[in-house]
Amino acid sequence: MKKTRIIGAGFCVPDNVVTNDDLSKMMDTSDEWIYSRSGIKERRWADEKTTTSDLAYEASYRAIKQAQIDPDEIDMIVVGTLSSDYFFPGVSAQLQERLNLRNVAAFDIKAACSAFVYSLSIADQFIKTGAAKTILIIGAETQTKLIEKSTEGRDIAVLFGDGAGAAVLQTSSNESCILSTHLHSEGKDLKNLWMEAPGTVENGWVDDAKIFKSKFTPKMNGKEVFRSAVTRFPEVINEALKHNDIKIEDVKLIVPHQANFRISEAVAKRLGVDTEKVYSNIHKYGNTTAASIPIALCEALEQNRISKGDIIILAAFGAGYTWASAAIRW
């Protein structure tokens, strides 16, 4: 069986910084409330003209440049997003065109905050079996266009931000490789974190979208999501450890989905590790859903938190619920 490794990564966030104080001018909230509950200080919001595919394109361009490959080598594009430019087709088709790639397979997956790890796993399967040699994966969002920027939507509005991260995966010829991926879902509580429209359950919204307006913004039962997250993160990280017959001490860095600093603290506590071992950049970007893990991975690499030979674990939890982990030897 072949092995897969990440040969390049890149990210892109919009220039527009929105601080907690900026938000407190738009809705009834405060820096104290937001920071103490989530660890977030600021986030990026895409302007009206910037789309998810714009951020995805830029992140992909940077990842391809770092990978030092000819874009013609790319065999497949997988995009994780819940805020695609259009309801269909996906951002992946736009990237095929904008990056001027061959007519390769391109598809989007809707696994919310777990979408990047899901994409990584899909790419790993194709490369391991020899069905593909080089795959571009992306997590990208401009989800703040969907949120209600008022007191009514404040529980969601203060947490989320926009951005994109990408990675190029290729067949590995050395020790550096994806060691394992584990993917999970449980749909019974899907309404704890969801956006109902546009969907096909509700008839009539096309004719009178105003009546259904509130269904076009994400809704979250924050306490329940929090409770599940602090259980599922350690569970899926432990699954990776067990599968690879390694201990948490063997892991250099955990790069989790950036949902809430308090969730990361709780995960560190449950794993019995220092909070420092769980990478965090949520203070700068908030929760960027599918983009948060690749952005965090890029920054951890830039800060030399990961060296050749280190084992790292990516871990995700989000809407669905979906949750996932990937153990990687760098």
Q: Which of 117, 177, 166 is nearest to 298 (CA)?
A: 166
Interface with ligand UT7, residue 147, by CB under 6 A: no
Interface with ligand UT7, residue 288, by CB under 6 A: no
Indicate the residue among 210 and 223 with the shorter CB distance to ligand UT7. 223
Indicate the residue among 191 and 242 with the shorter CB distance to ligand UT7. 191
Can 298 be counted among the known catalytic residues?
A: no
Interface with ligand UT7, residue 226, by CB under 6 A: yes
Contacts with ligand UT7: how many residues (CB under 6 A)? 19
Can 238 be counted among the known catalytic residues?
A: no
Residue whose Cβ sits closest to ligand UT7: 222
Site residues for ligand UT7, 55-84, by CB under 6 A, read: none
Interface with ligand UT7, residue 223, by CB under 6 A: yes
Q: What is the CA radius of gyration of the chain?
A: 19
Site residues for ligand UT7, 73-132, by CB under 6 A, read: 113
Catalytic annotation, pick one of 20, 257, 260, 298? 257
Q: Mark the segment that binds ligand UT7 (CB under 6 A) among 136-144, 225-233, 273-281, 305-313.
A: 225-233
- Sheet with 311-318: strands ordered across: 177-185, 322-329, 311-318, 251-256
Indicate the residue among 51 and 287 with the shorter CB distance to ligand UT7. 287
Interface with ligand UT7, residue 155, by CB under 6 A: yes
Contact characters 165-194, ligand UT7, x per CB under 6 A: ----------------------------x-
Q: What are phi and psi of 194, to 5 degrees?
A: -160, 165
